[in-house]
Structure 1
Amino acid sequence: MSDVVNAVRAAMPAVRIDLEALVRIPAVAFEGLDHEPVRRGADAVQRLLTDAGASETRQIRHGEGQPSVYAHFPAPAGQPTVLLYAHQDVQPVGDLARWDQPDPFEVVERNGRLYGRGVADDKAGVMAHIAALRAYGGKPPVGVKLFIEGEEEFGSPTLEALLREHRETLSADVVVIADSTNWRTEVPALTTTLRGVINVYVEVATATGAVHSGIFGGPVPDALTALARLMATLHDDAGDVAVAGLVTGRGSDLDYDEASLREEAGMLEGTEFIGTGRLTERMWSKPTATVLGIDCPGAAEAANALQPTARAKVSFRLAPGDSAANAVKAVSAHFEANAPWGARVTVTPEGGAGDPSAIDSTGPAFDAARAAFAEAWDGTAPVEIGIGGSIPMIATFQELFPEAAILVTGVEDQYSNPHGPNESLDLGMFERVCVAEALLLAKLAN
């Protein structure tokens, strides 16, 4: 095992160079943007896997979806096969003014962290897989298949069809999904629960057209005020979601330090937490309701008129034990039952819904993972955590590969800020993640 650890550490300078080269490729798969960088990113990953010694590499896609990269390292006789997942596409950069560097796709190092869009989510996940393979000179002690996706941040619209199409090719005894986080830089974690997600559009209509707010205001309701009242019904006075029928899952024994959460979330002084129960329970095992946006006249250009229609996009995170189908029914019933002043309410679900996941963390593969992480973190055993965000494809992996042990790992920590400005990766922790994955392959063989 010490030889494996030394081999990973020796490989880290080259791993970092290749990670920075991947970050420079602005692989954003969102509609309306140039997708050439996504294809270029897939080409770069394929070259890295070919150079790592894969017996086969190719790109696969479904319909008009973005390409994913598949690679295969055959299993030695009698050894299991492990499927390693990560994604090379990234989120848009958002407001450039909020970044501390002029180009978010150029990597900058500050205080032991690398900064850049995608450096943690999830290009470091890609490179952690490659680092483990390089430690074995391209001949790992178990069979290894890699599936590097190209549209995860866009909601994986073609992933399920792609997985079904290549189900036999991708079949494995263990699946390692490197797209999550650790509890702290100094405390590793295995993710065992993830919330699901649905988004819906809610339109409120009160009239056939806009009318003068002075002449008709008073008896005639306007749609924007009605919409505001409807959105206010989503939470009770304590801040818990008040939609009947949404599930609350089992809480965790872990809890967050309040001061740390305030700092990490950037909460303004005086702002209160909402909801009840442990902070981890509110983030991992309870539903949420968030108004993402409202279609209405902007304040500066608004006429002095009663609005006839108004529309909001609302996102719900779903606790483990719930389902997207159940949530759509519950949410639709809630909005229709709480329509103010007889306003006409129409609820339209958006595509890309995902079911929550709960993973059974017992068995030899999880024992091997715990041992590998503890060794990589110098004796600190991993904790089991939930994730408030959603990775819907994990439920798809559970359905398609029911006999496989699914390990959800990751390279992020509490300061990585994925999806936000100044996304970053802790270099010391990244090395530990790479060491842990190399050790995991050895322990799965044993």
Structure 2
Amino acid sequence: MAPEEIENAVRAGLPQAVEDLKRLVSIPSVAFPGHPEEAVRAAAALAVELLRSAGLPDVRQIPVAGSFPAVYAEAPAPPGAPTVLLYAHYDVQPPGDPALWRTPAFEPTEIDGALYGRGAADDKSGIMIHVAALRAFNGEFPVGVRVILEGQEEYAGERLEAFVEHNPDLVRADAIVVADAGNPRVGDPAVTTTLRGMAAFTVEVRTLREAVHSGSFGGAAPDALAALMRMLTALHDDNGDLRVPGLPRGTFRGQGSSEEDFRVTAGVLDGVSLVGSGSLADRLWASYAVTVTGLDVPTVSGAINAVQAVARARVTIRIPPTGDPKTALNDVQDYLRQVAPWGAQVSFSQHVMGSGYLAEAGGRARAALNEAMKRAFGRAPRDVGQGGSIPLVATLTRQFPAAEILLYGAEDDDAAIHAPNERVDLEEFRRVATAEALFLAAYGAQ
């Protein structure tokens, strides 16, 4: 197919692709414990239906130990053509507080050219990018196609890593597309070349057998909450840089956003400064970051006059692409033990780890993608980093060192992924799907 034919085919199929994306978004496929498993399995079943509609002859669900099924599809390569693996995930983050959503999280709503709903961007748009691109070829694919859609990436995604390690032939490919990333801004094409790794844990501090009256004991009884607060604030200096030994700042080799753009995107309030030192790209994509993501303490509305006996926090560490998650986790935990005041008892649990990723120099696949994005967006893509981690990417890199891994997608920095009012810009969705279809054609013709 000529490029014009591919572009026209994607454009013609866009209304159906958007309707199918709405069907996916309407399913609350949260794979976290405590959420209904039926919804996650319903999303897997719909993903099977959608991949079959794209002309793939072999589509099936494959059990994954301790997790939800992987949705797998395959079409053989034409003689002499390479094979491309397409990845996305069908599970989503929990919606959080419904009051913070302007439209219901699982009632997909179009507003001003964008589709709102949990998973509209992360990562059900990734599924539909693949489907929309493949539909353009009417079952006559220019490359071999393999698709794997994960059902538990947002929670305990490392389970698919073990599956891939034990079933390498299912996902072996010359190029691997991970549609779980995006552009800094709508219309600004980018390829993600670095991913920070991550580690997370829960820290618990105990000082008393049980809470005691603050009037009778306050001022002498050690407060577990106060101890935990002192420990957590000790992680950073007054400038916001980490104090933890062994976690140095890094350098990002590409171009980052301006601080002005970042402030707008992040919603930083007037008069509030950014934290840390070094360039913004260094801080976001190449350095360690520690964030307290949750606290188990009495709420303000439920507070009583008591000195607390126990307090807990959830702590997340973002790790440079070449850093070791286990080492970073140990460094942070050791530091928290050292700064714990008053001999407080400190324990750690609920550990999660994921490796980062650093792309090698681009080859044939990256060259084909560059040309495809240039045509679809009107400009060539630039290299960017991503602060989040995608556990499967590091495994694929180890398992298939000769394969090129390409990370892109329809998400952008304003898409509010993992937050209320998540959305995907539908014109961006069309451009990325067009770029993927053009890439498949160009890569197959090399």
Residue 5 (structure 2) aligns with: 3
Residue 370 (structure 1) aligns with: 370
Residue 401 (structure 1) aligns with: 400
TM-score (ref. length: structure 2): 0.95
Q: Output the CA distance in 2 between the equivalents of 1:23 and 1:307.
A: 42
Residue aligned with 1:236, SS: coil
C-alpha displacement of 1:235 = 0.2
C-alpha displacement of 1:189 = 0.5
Alignment of 1:33-72 (within 5 A): 33-72=35-74
Q: Output the CA distance in 1 between the equivalents of 2:12 and 2:334.
A: 58
Residue aligned with 1:118, SS: coil
Amino acid at match of 1:405: E
Residue 147 (structure 1) aligns with: 148
C-alpha displacement of 1:215 = 4.3
Residue 356 (structure 1) aligns with: 356
| Contact 1:145/1:170 (8 A) holds in 2 | yes
TM-score (ref. length: structure 1): 0.95
C-alpha displacement of 1:321 = 1.8
C-alpha displacement of 1:144 = 0.5
C-alpha displacement of 1:248 = 3.0
Residue 313 (structure 1) aligns with: 314
User: Gaps spanning 5+ residues in structure 1: where?
Assistant: none
Alignment of 1:30-429 (within 5 A): 30-101=32-103, 103-348=104-349, 350-378=350-378, 380-429=379-428
C-alpha displacement of 1:317 = 1.0
Distance change in 2, residues 1:208/1:284 (3 Å): same
Deviation string for 1:111-135 (max 9, x for gaps)?
Answer: 2111111111111111111111111
Distance change in 2, residues 1:308/1:329 (3 Å): same
Residue 435 (structure 1) aligns with: 434
| Contact 2:62/2:72 (8 A) holds in 1 | yes
C-alpha displacement of 1:361 = 3.5
C-alpha displacement of 1:297 = 3.0
Q: Does 1:22 align with 2:30?
A: no
Higher mean alpha-carbon deviation, 217-226 vs 310-319, is at 217-226
Q: Output the CA distance in 2 between the equivalents of 1:32 and 1:157.
A: 19
C-alpha displacement of 1:433 = 0.3
C-alpha displacement of 1:214 = 4.3
Amino acid at match of 1:235: H
Distance change in 2, residues 1:217/1:93 (3 Å): closer
Q: Output the CA distance in 1 between the equivalents of 2:19 and 2:215.
A: 65
C-alpha displacement of 1:371 = 1.2
Distance change in 2, residues 1:36/1:210 (3 Å): closer
C-alpha displacement of 1:300 = 4.1
Higher mean alpha-carbon deviation, 244-253 vs 383-392, is at 244-253
Q: Output the CA distance in 2 between the equivalents of 1:260 and 1:136.
A: 38
Residue aligned with 1:191, SS: strand
Amino acid at match of 1:184: R
Higher mean alpha-carbon deviation, 104-113 vs 236-245, is at 104-113
Q: Output the CA distance in 2 between the equivalents of 1:13 and 1:217.
A: 64
| Contact 1:194/1:358 (8 A) holds in 2 | yes
User: Gaps spanning 5+ residues in structure 2: where?
Assistant: none
Distance change in 2, residues 1:91/1:220 (3 Å): closer
Deviation string for 1:265-317 (max 9, x for gaps)?
Answer: 22222222111122222111111111122223334444433333322221111
| Contact 1:246/1:322 (8 A) holds in 2 | no
RMSD: 1.7
| Contact 2:254/2:383 (8 A) holds in 1 | no
| Contact 2:165/2:395 (8 A) holds in 1 | no
Amino acid at match of 2:203: V
Amino acid at match of 2:262: L
Distance change in 2, residues 1:295/1:100 (3 Å): closer
Distance change in 2, residues 1:14/1:340 (3 Å): same
Q: Output the CA distance in 1 between the equivalents of 2:402 and 2:254.
A: 28
Residue aligned with 2:180, SS: strand
Deviation string for 1:182-240 (max 9, x for gaps)?
Answer: 12212111001111111122222333343444444444432221111111110011101
Deviation string for 1:35-80 (max 9, x for gaps)?
Answer: 1121111111111222222121110122341111101111000111
Residue aligned with 2:352, SS: coil
| Contact 2:195/2:387 (8 A) holds in 1 | yes
Q: Output the CA distance in 1 between the equivalents of 2:300 and 2:111.
A: 40
| Contact 1:249/1:320 (8 A) holds in 2 | no
Distance change in 2, residues 1:31/1:216 (3 Å): closer
Residue aligned with 1:341, SS: coil
Q: What is the number of residues matched between the two proteins?
A: 443
